């Protein structure tokens, strides 16, 4: 992983993924390590973020490094028309590592090709969000004790939800069964179904899930991605089709856990938050440890 960009979860083998999870546990137990002294990490966020940006910043701070960057491209020379290539070539002269979120699919790959330093994809359009996937896997492993042979329910915006796309690919190393629950207009894209078919991984598609929820080991809820819709009327029609309520959880497995990459809009009722099966805020906390592990691996500090 040394000096390699992390653009897609496919950039990491199963063994490398497991190594990141092992290191995440180390950082959970040893949070403040001065491994990044004299290192500068650039955070370039062309799209809004709370968890990804702040957990990366927290990770760098806990490792003793320094952060530069922008959380609003409008305050940078991007607003004067500077290209992504020129921005990355410049920032890579000021930093040891770049973390970038961008609305265009493929932007992170392009940035990694023109950068002097490794690039971490913090989300590129509807494509991938690999660091979210690694913290999701860490959360699944912590709650289930294994990543193998789990029944995973993916609910909501499976078309535009980049966290779903990355997670599906990563979990495919571990013999899952997937249940996809989505409105017909937000179903999982065909390319992912072809991918699963080629690997012989079982999946089922549904438009409702209350009758099958008792089978789930993990329910991974997602927000309908308003920013990817060109027609606001279509978004309004679809946005509240799936709302998880506490009353739906009575017959679920004792060890089932509810994950959500967050932010939440309406898709998980707040009456779920006090249920011990709700894990999404701890999941967000796990992001700091996992991002410490990713940074340490890329800069070979561990
Ligand atoms: N999960 C996630 O990417 O959240 P943010 O958009 O707040 O970074």
- On whether residue 264 sits in a domain, the answer given is yes
Q: Is 285 in the pocket of ligand 1 (CB under 6 A)?
A: no
- On whether residue 1 sits in a domain, the answer given is no
Atom of ligand 1 nearest to the CA of 129: 3
- On whether residue 2 sits in a domain, the answer given is no
* Total domains present in the chain: 2
- How far does residue 289's CA lie from ligand 1's centre (Å)? 16
Q: Enumerate the H helices of 205-301 as residue ranges.
A: 232-238, 280-298
Are 162 and 88 contained in the same domain?
A: no
- On whether residue 21 sits in a domain, the answer given is yes
Are 122 and 225 contained in the same domain?
A: no
Q: What are phi and psi of 106, to 5 degrees?
A: 95, -10
Q: What is the CATH number of the domain that holds 196?
A: 3.40.50.1370
- Half-sphere exposure at residue 101, Cβ-oriented, CA atoms within 13 angstroms: 24
Are 150 and 255 contained in the same domain?
A: yes
Question: Token pair of 209, please?
Answer: 């899930």
Bridge partners (DSSP) listed for residue 257: 218
- On whether residue 105 sits in a domain, the answer given is yes
pLDDT in tens, 211-220: 999 999 999 9
Q: Is 261 in the pocket of ligand 1 (CB under 6 A)?
A: yes
Are 179 and 221 contained in the same domain?
A: yes
Q: Is 51 in the pocket of ligand 1 (CB under 6 A)?
A: yes
Q: Is 49 in the pocket of ligand 1 (CB under 6 A)?
A: yes
Are 22 and 138 contained in the same domain?
A: no
Please report the pLDDT score of residue 172 as a whole number: 98
Please report the pLDDT score of residue 21 as a whole number: 98
- How far does residue 235's CA lie from ligand 1's centre (Å)? 20
Q: What are phi and psi of 55, to 5 degrees?
A: -75, -35
Between strands 97-102 and 257-259, the pairing is unpaired
- On whether residue 4 sits in a domain, the answer given is no
Are 273 and 140 contained in the same domain?
A: yes
Distance CA 187, CA 53 (A): 28
- On whether residue 141 sits in a domain, the answer given is yes
**Exposure pattern of 76-87 as b/e (b: 16+ CB <10 Å)?**
bebeeeeebeeb
Q: Is 222 in the pocket of ligand 1 (CB under 6 A)?
A: no
Please report the pLDDT score of residue 235 as a whole number: 83
- On whether residue 45 sits in a domain, the answer given is yes
Are 268 and 292 contained in the same domain?
A: no
Q: Is 262 in the pocket of ligand 1 (CB under 6 A)?
A: yes
For residues 140 and 150, the answer to whether their CB atoms sit within 8 Å is: yes
Are 102 and 167 contained in the same domain?
A: no
Are 78 and 177 contained in the same domain?
A: no
Q: Which of 45, 132, 165 is the best mutation target for the ligand 1 pocket, counting ligand atoms within 8 Å of the beta carbon and taking the most?
A: 132
Are 51 and 192 contained in the same domain?
A: no
Please report the pLDDT score of residue 238 as a whole number: 84
Domain membership of residue 43 as a residue range: 9-127+287-298
- Which residue do the tokens 């967000």 mark? 284
Are 148 and 253 contained in the same domain?
A: yes
Please report the pLDDT score of residue 240 as a whole number: 82
Are 162 and 237 contained in the same domain?
A: yes
- How far does residue 198's CA lie from ligand 1's centre (Å)? 31
- How far does residue 50's CA lie from ligand 1's centre (Å)? 6
Distance CA 32, CA 9 (A): 27
Please report the pLDDT score of residue 174 as a whole number: 98
Atom of ligand 1 nearest to the CA of 261: 1
Low-confidence ranges of the chain (pLDDT < 70): 302
């Amino acid at each position: 992983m040394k000096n390699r960009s992390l653009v897609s979860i496919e950039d990491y083998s199963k063994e490398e993924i497991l190594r990141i999870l092992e290191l995440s546990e180390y950082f959970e137990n040893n949070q403040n390590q001065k491994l990044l002294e004299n290192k500068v990490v650039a955070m370039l966020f062309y799209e809004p973020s709370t968890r990804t940006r702040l957990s990366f910043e927290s990770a760098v701070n806990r490792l003793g490094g320094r952060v530069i960057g922008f959380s609003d491209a409008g305050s940078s020379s991007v607003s004067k028309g500077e290209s992504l290539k020129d921005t990355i070539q410049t920032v890579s002269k000021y930093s040891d590592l770049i973390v970038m979120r961008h609305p265009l699919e493929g932007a992170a790959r392009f940035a990694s090709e023109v950068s002097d330093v490794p690039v971490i994809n913090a989300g590129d359009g509807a494509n991938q969000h690999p660091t979210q996937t690694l913290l999701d896997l860490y959360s699944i492993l912590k709650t289930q004790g294994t990543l193998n042979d789990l029944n995973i329910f993916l609910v909501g915006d499976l078309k535009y939800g980049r966290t779903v796309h990355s997670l599906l690919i990563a979990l495919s190393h571990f013999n899952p069964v997937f249940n996809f629950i989505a409105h017909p207009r937000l179903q999982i894209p065909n390319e992912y179904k072809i991918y699963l078919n080629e690997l012989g991984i079982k999946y089922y598609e549904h438009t409702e899930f209350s009758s099958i929820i008792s089978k789930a080991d993990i329910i991974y809820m997602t927000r309908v991605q308003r920013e990817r819709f060109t027609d606001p009327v279509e978004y309004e029609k679809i946005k509240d089709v799936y709302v998880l309520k506490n009353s739906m959880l009575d017959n679920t497995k004792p060890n089932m856990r509810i994950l959500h990459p967050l932010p939440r809009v309406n898709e998980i009722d707040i009456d779920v938050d006090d249920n011990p099966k709700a894990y999404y805020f701890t999941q967000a906390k796990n992001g700091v440890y996992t991002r410490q592990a990713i940074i340490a691996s890329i800069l070979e500090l561990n």
